[in-house]
Chains A and B, each alone.
Chain A
Amino acid sequence: MTTAKKPTRAVKSSTKKKSAPRKKPIKNKPQFKQRLWSWFWRLSILFILLLSVWLVYLDAQVRSQFDGNKWALPAKVYARPLSLYPGLLLSAKQLKAELQWNDYKAVSHVVKPGTYGRDGNDWIIYRRGFSFSDRTEEPVKIRLSFAEGRIEQISVAGNIRGLERIEPQYIGGIFPAHNEDRDLIALQDVPPALVAALVAVEDRGYFDHYGISIRGILRALKANIAAGRTVQGGSTLTQQLVKNFFLTNERSLQRKIKEAFMALLLELHYSKEEILQAYLNEVYLGQSGRRSINGIALASRFYFAKSVQQLDLSEMALLVGMVKGPSYYNPFRHPERARERRDLVLGIMEELSIINSAQRINAQGKDIQVADSGRAGQREYPAFIQLVKKQLQQDYRLQDLQSTGLRIFTTLDPWLQHATETSVQKHISNLEKRIGFKDPTLEAAAVVTSVDGAEVRAIVGSRRVQYFGFNRAMDAQRSIGSLAKPAVYLTALSSGRYNWSTIIDDKPVSVSGQDGSLWQPRNYDRKNYGPVFLVDAMSKSLNQATARLGMTVGIDQVINTFERLGIDKDVPPYPSILLGSVAMSPLQVTQMFQTYASGGFAMEPRSIQALTTTDNKILTSYAAQGEQMFSPHLMENLRYGLQQVIAQGTGKRLARTFNTTKIAGKTGTSDEQRDAWFAGFDDRHLGVIWVGRDDNKPMPFTGAGGALPIWQDIFLQSGLEPLTPLVQLDWAWVNTQGEVVEPECGVRQMPFMPGVLNGRRISCDKSSSSANSDSRLNDQQNDNKGSSSWFDWLF
């Protein structure tokens, strides 16, 4: 190169030195040629220089992205494991459903992990190996014997066990950008036939080229020219990987050149096996809602509910065939196309002696059998995942949740979630039919937690339970209506001046605001009930009596009770909050009722049990927390009132359905019936239901008619366990004046806080005229009457 330049320079310098004119036509031709060469070489050097720089840049890009963690691995979220132990009440229906949701197959002979069967009254479950949050457990064949609906005995290989677990159901992920989901797999774990088929179909010369295949490009060119359109691609597996892993789907020459160079560089640095393994994990194989199905391992689980190792030839061929067009050959939507493609792949496999003729015929004879893509083990639980994400973001960065492959073990109970979803959907449709709405108009939200630990067992944020949209359970702020009333009565009971037998007045009330406006709440039925027992005012949800009571005990005191119940929001000091003008989300209402249900412990509903890394190190485990905010006796006393709602008040439908009054609950209906609520609990679970319209328009039903039936249906499906008392209260008979009397002349038996009765009661002959007796109770009532009179005088 340098020798070519020197004469040119010599010519130039001589031209400058000698000024005499020369014979241009003679010398111009070679000079021009020389100049042309000179520029050619200069430009070539520049090009090579730039190309080298670019290649160095590409090389750095390839190596930096391909070394170490290649993918942003989404956090995998799991439900609670199904714990099996003697004495557990477990219906065959639930066990079967939970096994099937976890992709267990019913078989006659249980010999493989992931299968189950019946042996007379016994169940045999071959549990898969699984890394639980606390330890890794090997596959194990569990025998369960049942008696009277409960597990009687658990054994493994003839040894009696106290506890066994079924691995938890996968319920979703916290995905990176583009929502790519994948399960990583090592090349040695992929069946050789699948790898051979992939190479045979996608890139036969894979083991012979260096990233690009000239022969392949020419063959594709020939085929495309012959067909008059693009029918074949010339890309090698390496190029396909480069395109998917590093580049975009842009169709340009520039991208194609870049792809070719990157493929060469990839082959330069990495072995064929490493590249093939990356390909098997990268390849796009379909879409499930927002979730992109990537990699052979996840695709195998998604389409066939099997691990890659369990795939038969027909299924392997179908997966390999789908690489060409996952949407076009989608076996759910286009089974015929998928079958043709599978058969073609099987034909190629036979042609290349990967399988023999008999295997091909056998595989081609099989139907396209795919697992239901919407099944529990592959669908997502948007409302719950959103809650998990929100709670985790208090401790972790979103970026880490989206990329480091964390495993999140949660509290979700798939059985209860199923019951909640089906109940919400069924009743919302029924309500709309009853009202005459033709289009879906109503919306709903529901939260179910365990009463003792506040673990969120089920959550629904919309009637469209699989839709990742506005989560009404977490984010909708709606007036809670009469759900506020228990806080008013709790304030009264905790003041020590009231008992459930205290008589309060249900008559019209009028409160003037600072701006001169008048607040005049009326009862739902517009009636005035006059003097009523405190407990009846709550159980029948009387607005006037409650407003009077709340004004007497003091709005500030009621706000203080809201705070102690765990409500972390500013509640304005307006009288209307006494009847629930305050807006809360169903989750906040759950937190408030959780305190009643747990016996006075304020607990935030929690959705996460533990968080582990991909190699199963526990990062965090969460345990039940909760400060005792109210005494157990006070809570037991309040729970009596809440049980009266079911026994004789607005929730008495539940007493009829479940044939027990040992359920605590409260209906709620906001102004003009814009919101219908029901919150209630049994001995195990608390459920909060909201029904309303997104446009906040009124509805022709109340909490008892709109939300309570959903609660009822959930608890019918999951089973109801009647409440057991937290502590013992003192019980006594009272007369119509609320005085404690002998049983013979009493009209109602009511509970009292310890020490209140103090052994005093009025004999029957004195009861009607002895309201001013020296009993402490009557003193209290006089106090109350005094307060009431003062209040009446004031307003």
Chain B
Amino acid sequence: MVRLVVLIFVVISFLSACTSMPSSEQYDPRSVQSYEDTSKNNNELLRLDEGKHHPAIQFLLSQAEEARQQGDNRQALSYLDQARQIQPRNSAILYRLAWLNYQKGDLSQAQQLLQRAKLYLNSDKVLQQRVTSLQNSIDAKLGF
């Protein structure tokens, strides 16, 4: 009986370890998608580090947000660009780059980056709405 309990315990431990152990493939930056936080305002990004992302991207977005809060947009853009180089086709990163450029008044750069974000948009509805909203804002400022 004791043996059986020990065996069951070992098997359960092994299985739980297997389920919690992240696989390296699971973190392949080419396949890990970003998802925006659905509990937040859908049309407006409030923080650069909102949402769920690849661990490296999450780290860089936190750094970018920290820099932004300190008023250092250049530094924040530098972190976002590092994130872009890890996941160059992640529309959530491209959107944030466009958003930050829009915030600092660089409409032309914001427009270019938003075009890229649109090219790689996934099924994330929140992000889709935000991209549309930002496009409208840019268009309004550009007088379209």
Which A residues contact B (CB, under 8 angstroms)? 83, 85-89, 133-134, 146-148, 150-153, 161-163, 450-453, 455, 599, 601, 609-610, 618, 621, 623-628, 632, 721, 726-727
Is there a chain A Cβ closer than 8 Å to B23's Cβ?
yes
The docked-state distance in angstroms from the alpha carbon of A609 to that of B84 is 13
Instruction: Tell me which residues across on chain A come within 8 A of B26, comparing CB atoms.
Output: 87
Most chain A Cβ neighbours within 10 Å, of B57, B97, B115: B115
16 sample A-B contacts, Cβ–Cβ < 8 Å, listed by A number: A85-B55, A86-B24, A86-B27, A87-B29, A87-B54, A89-B28, A134-B82, A146-B24, A150-B27, A152-B23, A153-B22, A161-B55, A163-B55, A623-B77, A623-B78, A627-B112
Interchain CB contact (< 8 A) of B86 among A85, A601, A626: A85
Which chain B positions have C-beta within 8 A of A86? Answer: 22, 24, 27, 54-56
The 8 A-B residue pairs with the shortest CB-CB distance, nearest first, are A87-B27, A162-B55, A85-B56, A452-B88, A150-B24, A86-B27, A162-B59, A163-B56
Given A87-B27, A453-B85: A134 and B22 interface contact (C-beta under 8 Å): no
Q: Which of A88, A147, A163, A601 contacts B23 (CB 8 A)?
A: A147
Cα A299 to Cα B52 in complex, Å, equals 48
B24 touches A134 (CB 8 A): no
A455 contacts across to B, CB distance below 8 A:
85
Q: Which residue of B is nearest A160, CB measured?
A: B55
Write the chain A residue with the least CB distance to B78: A621
A87 & B78 in contact (Cβ 8 Å cutoff)? no
Are A450 and B88 neighbours in the complex by a CB distance under 8 Å? Answer: yes
List residues of chain B with CB within 8 A of the CB of A89: 28
Q: Mark B61-95, 1 if CB is under 8 A from A, else 0.
A: 00100000000001101111110111011000000
Q: Which B residue sits closest to A81, measured CB to CB? A: B82
Question: Are the CB atoms of A150 and B88 closer together than 8 Å?
Answer: no
User: In this complex, what residue of B is CB-closest to A727?
Assistant: B119
B54 touches A85 (CB 8 A): yes
Measured in the bound complex, the distance between the Cα atoms of B70 and A134 in whole Å is: 14
A618 B55 Cβ-Cβ under 8 A: no
Question: In the bound complex, what is the Cα–Cα distance between A191 and B94 (angstroms)?
Answer: 49
B32's closest neighbor in chain A, by CB?
A87
Which B residues lie at the A interface, using CB under 8 A? 22-30, 32, 54-60, 63, 74-75, 77-82, 84-86, 88-89, 97, 109, 112, 115-116, 119
* Cα of A250 to Cα of B119 in the assembled complex, Å: 67
Residues of A within 8 A of B24 (CB): 86-87, 146-148, 150-152
Residues of B within 8 A of A632 (CB): 119
Min CB distance B114 to A, Å, is 10
Contact A621 B81 (CB under 8 A): yes
Given contacts A87-B27, A148-B25, A632-B119, 13 further A-B contacts (CB under 8 A): A83-B86, A87-B32, A87-B54, A150-B24, A150-B27, A152-B22, A162-B54, A453-B88, A599-B119, A609-B78, A621-B74, A624-B84, A628-B112
Q: Which of A146, A452, A453 has the most CB of B within 10 A?
A: A452
Contacting residues, chain A, for B85 (C-beta < 8 A): 450, 453, 455
- A726 to B89: give the CA distance in the assembly, Å: 10
**A83 interface neighbour in B23, B56, B58, B116, Cβ under 8 Å:** B56
Contact B77 A621 (CB under 8 A): yes
Q: In the assembly, what is the distance between CA of A143 and CA of B86, in Å?
A: 20
Known contacts A86-B22, A146-B24; A134/B119 CB under 8 A: no
Q: A610 contacts which of B63, B78, B116 (Cβ < 8 Å)?
A: B78
Q: How far is the CB of A160 from chain B (nearest CB, A)?
A: 8
Contact between A726 and B119, CB atoms less than 8 A apart: yes
Residue among A133, A134, A148 making CB contact with B63, cutoff 8 Å: A134
A451 to B88, alpha carbons, bound, how many Å?
9
A residues near B56, Cβ cutoff 8 Å: 83, 85-86, 162-163
Docked Cα-Cα span, A618 to B67, in Å, equals 13
Q: Is the CB of B115 within 8 A of A628?
A: yes
B75 touches A87 (CB 8 A): no
CB distance from B70 to the nearest CB of A (A): 12
Contact of B82 among A83, A153, A451, A618 (CB under 8 A): A83
Our pick among B58, B74, B78 for the contact of A162 (Cβ within 8 Å) is B58
